[in-house]
Structure formats: structure tokens, C-alpha cells
Structure 1
Amino acid sequence: MNINDWLQAARQRLDALDARLLLQHVTGLSRTELICRPETPLTSAQLDCLETLATRRQAGEPLAYLVGEAGFRGRSFQVSPAVLVPRPETEELVDLALDKLRELAVRAPRVLDLGTGSGAIPISLALEYPAAQVSAVDVSPAALAVARANGAALQAPVRWLESDWFAALGDERFDLIVSNPPYIHAEDPHLAGDGLCFEPRLALTDGADGLACIRAIVADAAAHLEPGGWLLFEHGWDQGPASRNLLTLAGFKAVQTWQDLAGHDRISGGRTPSPQDAHP
């Protein structure tokens, strides 16, 4: 069987893009090479591998796990079932964080990412705002191993720490704290479908109402932020009001929720009081 034969057969069971990406992964050929050399024969080993991967994809396993990488902000990140697959909505969190760093106008701002997973957020911030001193924590050693590998591959100067939120940070303070925490309700039916059942449950849900991790982060963030420092976190489409309420009760100023490209509430945040707040 050659490349063209396999692609034609695979399209009976897979999306055309998925089929092509699996073929590129197994053969090591580029998209252009696949187009120009459709008659290239596939070996028995390649066919066996493609069959295994196609079956896993049919079962709903994320394509990123099958090929071992995912794109985020134009970069390739290694991923495994130890970490969430980076999503486009989280790119908007990075954009907002960059905006806040520019507004702060701190010469060497200290940035912290909580629950870093693949490291996509802190690596992007470190590379796109080189003046920042970026740290990232995760409670999972397996996730940190993936993040460290991505940081090394992309030459991003990020400090990696194993920590349950702020536990290992002592009295350190930052100018910006960002997070994409677990925020899916434990009984949300989406956890059993949409490929989510293959992703690490610890990174998806708090095992409760979806707000437990957000509560913990908001409760302790002010003690780790400089005056006027910002906290930004991603959340579910229906968690904007609850997130703003938690931030307001914790004493944050300029509390706001930002929508994603689909128009859904996606990111909330606020800043700690600064001396200027006392002089309106």
C-alpha cells in the first residue's frame, strides 16, 4: 500500500487533516512531500503503526497525544497524557498577561504561572517578554518533566518548581500571577467525552464544583503579589460572576472578566491595592 492508497482508505474513518498528520508523524515526510510523492510505498511497520494510531484516534484520543506535540502561539510543545493539550483560549490568557506586563512598566517583572502543565504559558511569556523573570509550579512531577523538556527545547529561561499552588514559594512576591487551573465541575458530562477522558483528570476538575482551585488561588494570591500586581486566571464560560465575586471579596481592585473569541466569559482578574488607590 502506498501513501495515496492509505490516505484514501483512512478518510473513511478519520478526518482528512487527522489522517494526514498521522501519516506525516509515522513517515517523517512533510505535507509537501506527501503531495509530491503519493506513490511512496509504506512499510509493514509503518502500516501497523498507522493502524494503531488511527484506531486510538477513532476512540477519541487527542491527536496531540498520538503525535506527541501540539501547537501553541506558533511553537511546538511536547505533550503527553501527563498534561493538558494546550488550547487556543489559553493563548488569549497569554495575550492579556502581556498587556498587563506592559502596563506595569516594571523593568524586570516577576511572573508566576500556577499549575503549569506543559509549560505553554510561562514559556510563551518568557520568550515574548524577555525582561520578565518567569517561574512556574505544578504539583505533578510528571507534568513538570514535560514542562522542563519544553523549556529546554525552546530555550526559555523559566524556573520550574514542584509545588501545590503557593506552598513551596515561601514569602516570594510577584508582579503578575497567571493560571489555567482545573475548573470543570466534577459532574460535568463533558469529562466523559470530547477527548477529555484521555487528559489528566487532576488538571481538569477539582473533584467538586469547579471553583475550589480558583478559591484557593484567589485567597492566597494577594500575599504573593506586589502592590498593584495582577492576578489573571482562566475559567469556565459560566464562572465569570463567581470569579469576580471571589476577587472582590479578597480585596482586589479593577476586577474584570474578559471574553474569549466566541464571546464567552473566559478570563477574570484583578490587581492588589496600590498607594495610588488611597489618592483618587
Structure 2
Amino acid sequence: MHTIAGGAAGDPRAEVSELVTLRDLLRYAVSRFSAADLYYGHGSSTPIDEAAFLILETLHLPIDDFNAFADARLTAREKALLGERIALRIEKRLPAAYLTGRSYLAGVPFRSDARALAPRSFIAELLRSPLFDGSGEGMSLVENPDEVTSVLDLCTGGGSLAILAAYAFPNADVDAADLSSDALSLAAENVADHGLGDRVTLMNGDLFEAIGRRAYDLIITNPPYVGREVMEVLPDEFRHEPAMALAAGEDGFDIVRRILADAREHLNPGGGLLCEIGTDRELLEAEYPDTPFLWLDTEGSESEVFWLERDQLPG
């Protein structure tokens, strides 16, 4: 049994009643999260980041400025709600994004619940980088974002990347495809929240079957890419997410192979594919030795996203 402050850990639902300020609650939540050995992989990477997000989002406060509210006192109702969410984070290993119903990707808010993965993708950072925002001065993969008129977000889930693509390419119509009707229902809510119903079209189907013969200037995709052995040992936090959005066969590349096989015929001349595949770059390169993958790094990743131009794709 985990202990805290020299004794057995009590129920947060009761213990938070003794606290006064947001600073008190943050300290308490960090202590409890650390003792519970939680896993962080849905927007936060440390107990303090997770606790701060859970507190601020629950109280409808800006999530990037805890200090501005640190000494504010909590009402009894607020304590009760936060005590319940802290308890559920520990007892059920629920991701904080599911407890609050909201997550942020590239600073943009999205609804988040168990209908789809909690929003997370290194592609979000890349779309706002000089590689795609037109500021690359000769180093860009997309030299002029205004000239991109069609984008496909394959395996869109809750729609976050499709929405970010609509912002990144202001003249583009964005199709967002997914096999899960549950995920698309969440995506529809997010599209409506962002007022993008006239530019983002949701499509239900198995990969490219959802779009017929359409072709695009850009395809982005964060598909399932978890192999069987990893699926068997996933932390409990991930087991609240749809397994079909994670699992991709024995080695994790079943879906990526299908995308590589068919992407060329759905790209316009000069177009390209941006795909996230996780940390098994070597396996993919060994299987496709003649494919010139361009690996793109981000602040939090190395060689987990590749770019291929239309004419570089196999097939």
C-alpha cells in the first residue's frame, strides 16, 4: 500500500476538504499522483503538469498560468469535484483528458472522451513548423500554405489533426476519415465547436475506402501503430482508450503498410504524405529499403514521423 505523510493514504474525496487554496490542492495532488505511480502520456509528462492541468481545467481557468490563481480559495463544491477527479485518476487510472472532457493539442482545445484517443500527435507541432507554415526559406515541404487546397486526415479519431490542418491551410477543404462511427461523432462535436463545418467533412470507412477516388494535395495520418506485445503490457491509462485506435497487428505496421500501398493514387502531383509511426523506424526501413523516408523530428520526438512525396511512395 502506498503511504503519504507517514501514514496510510486516505480517500481524496475526504482529504481535500482540509485544503484551502489551489496551491494546497496542487501540492496534495502531486503527492498522491507520485505515490500512486501513475502513467503520463495523454498531454502531460510529470505529476505536477498532470495535477495542474486537472485542477485548472476542472475550474475553467487558463491552463498555462497556475501562479495567477495559486492563492485563490476553493469553495466546498469545487473541493468535492476535484477530490472526486483526483480519486478517479488514481483508482481507475483514467486519463485527465477524459476526467475533464477536454484536451489541448498545439494549444488548441478539443473535446475528449473514450470515443477516441485523447488528442496527441507530433504532426500537430510539424504543421506549425517552418516545414509547413511557409517560413522555411527553401527548407519547406510546403512552400506556400495558401496553395494547399485539399487535405485528407486519415484515421482522424476525434478530429483534432483535421481541425489543425484547416487552420494551417486556410484555403483547403479537409476530409477527415475514420472507421469508428463513435470517433466521428466526437469529431463532429469538435468541428462544430471550431466553426469549421463548411471546411471539414467527416467520412466513415476503412482507410481510403471512405473517400472513393478523391485525391489531395496533402495526406496526414496518425494511424494505429501498436504491436501485439506492446498492447499486452500497455499502462492502464491506455486501456480506457479504444483498442482499435491503437492496435495494428503483430508488429504494429498493418495499417501503415496499407496506407503506403494506396496513398500514391490519392495524392495530386506534387503532393505528399505525412505519417506518424512510433519508434520502430528500423523495422519500416528494413521492409521498404528503396523508399526514401524523410524523418522529421519535433521537440518531443525523434524519427517518429515520416514524409514522402507522391512519386517516392511505393507502388
Shorter-chain TM range is 0.7 to 0.9
- Residue aligning to 1:127: 167
Residue 52 (structure 1) aligned to one of 35, 60, 84: 84
Matched AA of 2:72: R
Decide whether the 8 Å contact of 1:218 with 1:247 is kept in 2: no
- Residue aligning to 2:184: 144
- Residue aligning to 1:89: 122
What is the rounded CA distance, in whole Å, between the counterparts of 2:153 and 2:68 in structure 1?
39
More divergent stretch after superposition (5-14 vs 224-233):
5-14
Call closer, same or farther: CA 1:206–1:70 in 2, change over 3 Å: same
More divergent stretch after superposition (188-197 vs 175-184):
188-197
- Residue aligning to 2:70: 35
What is the rounded CA distance, in whole Å, between the counterparts of 1:41 and 1:105 in structure 2?
47
What is the rounded CA distance, in whole Å, between the counterparts of 2:186 and 2:104 in structure 1?
15
Residue 225 (structure 2) aligned to one of 158, 183, 192: 183
- Aligned-pair distance for 1:168? 2.5
- Residue aligning to 2:242: 200
Matched AA of 2:304: R
TM-score of the aligned structures, taking structure 1 as reference length: 0.82
- Residue aligning to 1:277: none
- Aligned-pair distance for 1:216? 0.6
Decide whether the 8 Å contact of 1:97 with 1:232 is kept in 2: no
More divergent stretch after superposition (52-61 vs 186-195):
186-195
- Aligned-pair distance for 1:263? 5.7
- Aligned-pair distance for 1:173? 1.0
Structure 1: tracts of 5 or more residues without a match: 275-280
- Aligned-pair distance for 1:35? 2.8
- Aligned-pair distance for 1:153? 0.8
Decide whether the 8 Å contact of 1:22 with 1:67 is kept in 2: yes
- Residue aligning to 1:268: 306
- Aligned-pair distance for 1:192? 2.2
1:12 aligned onto 2:31: yes
- Aligned-pair distance for 1:16? 4.1
Matched AA of 1:261: E
Call closer, same or farther: CA 1:142–1:230 in 2, change over 3 Å: same
Matched AA of 1:13: R
Decide whether the 8 Å contact of 1:233 with 1:268 is kept in 2: yes
More divergent stretch after superposition (13-22 vs 142-151):
13-22
Q: RMSD over aligned Cα, in angstroms?
A: 2.9
- Residue aligning to 1:80: 113
1:227 aligned onto 2:269: yes
Decide whether the 8 Å contact of 2:272 with 2:309 is kept in 1: yes
What is the rounded CA distance, in whole Å, between the counterparts of 2:60 and 2:275 in structure 1?
38
Count of aligned pairs between the two proteins: 267
- Aligned-pair distance for 1:19? 3.6
What is the rounded CA distance, in whole Å, between the counterparts of 2:286 and 2:144 in structure 1?
21
Decide whether the 8 Å contact of 2:152 with 2:219 is kept in 1: yes
Decide whether the 8 Å contact of 2:126 with 2:132 is kept in 1: yes
More divergent stretch after superposition (189-198 vs 123-132):
189-198
Structure 2: tracts of 5 or more residues without a match: 1-16, 34-46, 135-139
Which structure is higher in helix share? 1
What is the DSSP-based 3-state SS (H/G/I as helix, E as strand, rest coil) of the residue aligned with 2:296? strand
| Aligned sequence identity (%) | 30
Call closer, same or farther: CA 1:28–1:72 in 2, change over 3 Å: closer
TM-score of the aligned structures, taking structure 2 as reference length: 0.74
What is the rounded CA distance, in whole Å, between the counterparts of 1:243 and 1:230 in structure 2?
18
What is the DSSP-based 3-state SS (H/G/I as helix, E as strand, rest coil) of the residue aligned with 1:207? coil
- Aligned-pair distance for 1:247? 8.6
Decide whether the 8 Å contact of 1:244 with 1:269 is kept in 2: no
- Aligned-pair distance for 1:105? 7.2
- Residue aligning to 1:71: 104
- Aligned-pair distance for 1:224? 1.1
- Aligned-pair distance for 1:11? 4.0
Call closer, same or farther: CA 1:240–1:87 in 2, change over 3 Å: farther
Matched AA of 1:265: S
Decide whether the 8 Å contact of 2:148 with 2:218 is kept in 1: no
What is the DSSP-based 3-state SS (H/G/I as helix, E as strand, rest coil) of the residue aligned with 1:166? helix
Call closer, same or farther: CA 1:265–1:19 in 2, change over 3 Å: closer
- Residue aligning to 1:258: 296
What per-residue deviation string (whole Å, max 9, x for no partner) do you get for residues 19-70 of structure 1? 44433444445656743432x4313xx4443333112212432111111111
Decide whether the 8 Å contact of 1:191 with 1:197 is kept in 2: no
What is the rounded CA distance, in whole Å, between the counterparts of 2:310 and 2:53 in structure 1?
45
